Amino acid sequence: MTIGREFPYGSKRIPWFHIAGLLSVACWGALAWRSHQSPEEGKLAWWLGAHVAGWILLAFAWRMVRCGFKPDLILPWALAFRLCGLLAEPVLEDDHHRFLWDGRVFALTGDPYRKAPAEFFQDPAVEPRFQRVLDQINNPELPTVYGPVCQVGFALGYKVAPARLWPWKLLLVAAELGLLVALRRRLSEEGFLLLAWCPLAVAESSFNAHPDMLGVALMTLAWTVRSPWLAGVLAAASGGTKVFGWMVAPFVLVKSGWRAWIAFSVTLIILYTPFLRNGGQAEFASLRTMATLWEFNSALFALVDLMVGQPTARLVCFIGFALLWIVVMWRWLVKLPSVSRRESLVPPGGLVFGGFLLLSATINPWYALWLWPFVVLSPTRAGVAFLVMVTLSYCTGRNLGLENLEPFAHPGWVRPVEFGVIGVAAFWDWMRPLKNRPLDQETPGSG
- Could you state, in order of their start, the residue ranges of all structural domains in the chain? 1-89+187-206, 93-164+210-290, 294-447
* Angle made by CA atoms 203, 149, 445, in degrees to the nearest 5: 70
**How much is the average pLDDT of 398-414?**
93
At residue 392, does pLDDT exceed 50? Answer: yes
Nearest-Å Rg of the Cα atoms of the chain is 22
pLDDT tier at 447, thresholds 50, 70, 90 = very low
Burial class (CB in 10 A: 0-12, 13-18, 19+), 232: buried
Query: Rounded distance, CA 86 to CA 444, Å?
Result: 37
Query: Rounded distance, CA 282 to CA 262, Å?
Result: 22
Can you state the angle between helices 43-66 and 189-197, rounded to 10 degrees?
A: 170
pLDDT tier at 408, thresholds 50, 70, 90 = very high
Which residue type does 187 have?
L
Per-residue model confidence (pLDDT) at position 441: 53
- Which tens digits make up the pLDDT trace of 256-276? 999 999 999 999 999 999 999
- Which tens digits make up the pLDDT trace of 317-337? 999 999 999 999 999 999 888
Query: Rounded distance, CA 46 to CA 203, Å?
Result: 12
Judge contact between 194 and 65, C-beta under 8 A: no
At residue 204, does pLDDT exceed 60? Answer: yes
Nearest to 208 by CA among 329, 364, 37: 364
Of residues 70 and 96, more confidently modeled: 96
Nearest to 81 by CA among 32, 128, 154, 129: 32
Per-residue model confidence (pLDDT) at position 10: 46
- Which tens digits make up the pLDDT trace of 272-295? 999 998 778 888 999 999 889 899
**How much is the average pLDDT of 355-381?**
96
* Angle made by CA atoms 322, 328, 332, in degrees to the nearest 5: 140
Per-residue model confidence (pLDDT) at position 279: 78
Distance, CA of 402 to chain centre: 28
Nearest to 206 by CA among 12, 411, 6, 35: 35
Reported pTM? 0.93
Which residue type does 329 have?
M
Nearest to 442 by CA among 227, 183, 66, 198: 183
Query: Rounded distance, CA 354 to CA 358, Å?
Result: 6
Measured CA to CA in angstroms, residue 224 lies from 39, 220, 338, 413 at distances of: 44, 6, 19, 41
Query: Rounded distance, CA 163 to CA 161, Å?
Result: 6
The conformation of residue 38, written as its DSSP 8-state character, comes to: S
Per-residue model confidence (pLDDT) at position 15: 82
Nearest to 101 by CA among 64, 44, 139, 60: 139
Q: In the beta sheet, which residues pair with residue 13?
A: 6
pLDDT tier at 3, thresholds 50, 70, 90 = very low
Query: Rounded distance, CA 386 to CA 422, Å?
Result: 6
Judge contact between 16 and 75, C-beta under 8 A: no
- Tell me: cis bond preceding 444? Omega within 30 of 0 counts: no
Judge contact between 304 and 316, C-beta under 8 A: yes
3-state secondary structure of 13: strand
Sign of CA dihedral 13, 17, 22, 26: positive
Judge contact between 41 and 401, C-beta under 8 A: yes
The number of helices, as runs of H, and strands, as runs of E, in the chain is: 21, 0
Query: Rounded distance, CA 228 to CA 247, Å?
Result: 18
